[in-house]
Structure 1
Amino acid sequence: MSHEVQAPSQCQPSSGGEVDGRSRSRASGTAAGVGLCVIGAAVAMGIGRLVPTINPMLIAIVLGALVANLVSVPGWIRPGLDFSSKRLLRVGVALLGLQLMFSDVVGLGWGVIAVVVAIVVLGIVGTMYAGKLLGLSWTQRVLIACGFSICGAAAVAAADGVVDAREEELLTAVALVVVFGTLMIPTIPLLADLLGLSERQAGMWAGGSIHEVAQVVASGGIVGGGALAVATVVKLARVLMLAPVMAYLGARQRRDASGRGKVNSTQPPLVPMFVLGFLGCVALRSSGLLPGAVIEHAKLVQTALLTAAMFALGVGVRVSLLRSVGPRPFVLAAVSTVWVAVVALLGVWIVT
């Protein structure tokens, strides 16, 4: 009798040791994964200093993809990669708000603001419809639509934080943003010249149609200084649309969860915390309370966080994965790129 009672108690320390061991193992994996992303971000930012025309976030995605396809990345560091691609990215997106002032957007004029809203709304609707015709999943369509209509890889990852897409869908959308957005850098200046657009018109078109902020800066710089200033502000106005779009997606996810009878389960927030953080940072910058030095340091931190997150996402981009998804996401990316560019160009012609 005594032996039967003592046996379970003798096993208990072993079970606790196993739990502690797993916790230590996960903590080690998180630390190692984050450390790898920090190193990748440092390398990318170093290359970015040497080649200022290339944004470190884009470099980080490419470096991460190279690491994933040339080196065997151990699976035990996955918790750190996940932490970097989600937690660090959301903080970085929130801090991105410190680079934008409401007055900059209002200064564009209500006509241009209406065009920006139309670009984002029509871009998302058109991409979603085209993706449905191609037979792609709703989540894959959402990621591509947000990335190509709002602000590139950051919007893709932000949307994933709300709709919880599959990993291969997230990584495919990020890779497509890099490929098609990079192709747009020389294409917009070339077409603007052929169409006889002024510098201001070309800048508005670049800011309204190209995916990443960095890609917009590169393209606007090709056109000229006047175009670069307009392109950057128009693009940041598109970034501001991240908040209402994520709020809409959050509301839809809550409604769908309720419709499936999951009222008592954990539902996604109506407005994700990082979106509220983004709006709070925009308001803080607009208040004029922050000194220039703080804004510059915050920009460095924001770039570092987003670069580390992009490296983590890049590590998941494997050639075998892109082959396995088939051609349909690539077709949708091409359609979305052309569609957003056409809507933006029509908007430029209307307001100028």
Structure 2
Amino acid sequence: MDGAALKSALAEQARAEGFAAIGVTRPDAIPEAGGRLRRFVAEGRHGQMGWMEDRIDWRADPGALWPEARSVVMLAETYTPEVDPLKLLEAREAGAISVYAMGRDYHDVVKKRLKRLGRWLIAAAGGEIKVFVDTAPVMEKPLAAVAGLGWQGKHTNLLSRDLGNWFFLGAIFTTLELPVDEPARERCGSCTACLDICPTRAFPAPFQLDARRCISYLTIEQRGPVDPELRPMMGNRIYGCDDCLAICPWNKFARTSSEIRYAARPDLVGPDLAELAGLDDAAFRARFSGSPIKRIGRDRFVRNVLYAIGNSGSARLLPAALALRDDPDSAVADAAHWAVARLSAVSG
């Protein structure tokens, strides 16, 4: 089987596995991405994400991660929501959870698909593979862009003419030589919807992100207390933020996900903040078993819930905050005092 025939068969197999799009590029196809990453880190915009700096050489150069690789197969898997994430922000006494975290942890689902597809490739043509889903030092978005899956929008996430921006990315590095695809062209035009909607103004300029002001970063990566200036802007977002994704006009082309495991769990669609605030460590682990939320731990999650309680304006939630003022975790206790002060001021 020649390279073109193999790539065509691989694409057919990828669709059979449930992937929505596939593209191929070379490990050395993003030479400018390393410079952008190093400037991002040098300016401190990565915040507490020290892992970005620790493996910056691998992250900046996919070829350094695995020198034997000759091709990178990038794949997209949709998780388009059934509900409008922006509507969840209106229910101030309920928590807003990012769409991708309402269902099964995508890392497990996508990685299994990638491994199956990789095994098919080895059986069909030999060679070796390595698969990556988000947790490895791989710059998936620049690689996906040069592989033709889409372009990085002004919100820095990947956009597609065919998929909108509700999709996960996975990568298969292989020692096989496969024909490459043409890079996608940027098509944001004069639109600034994603920049304008950001509650914390996390975009210093189009196509640039300061993670230290991003609510996804603040609720997931940030350890310890969040800057008091930013807390009111977080609203009821307790894990992640979808605003810049949800507002994008290209989502009119988004495809419905065929993966039932990405469907939102009913108990994670607008859960009651008072109930979540009362979770101890064991209850937290049980509640979020199989969810990416479990990785941030009870303390960070309850801290987020308390910020949402403080922003709710609801006197009903005051007892939940009062009960946590002496929590063993200092960030939780600080958040509880902040929420109590906010609600006390509202209720008089």
- Looking at both structures, which has the greater relative contact order when contacts are Cα pairs under 8 Å and sequence separation is at least 6? 1
Larger radius of gyration: 1
TM-score (norm 1): 0.29
TM-score (norm 2): 0.30
Name the structure with the higher strand share: 2
Name the structure with the higher helix share: 1
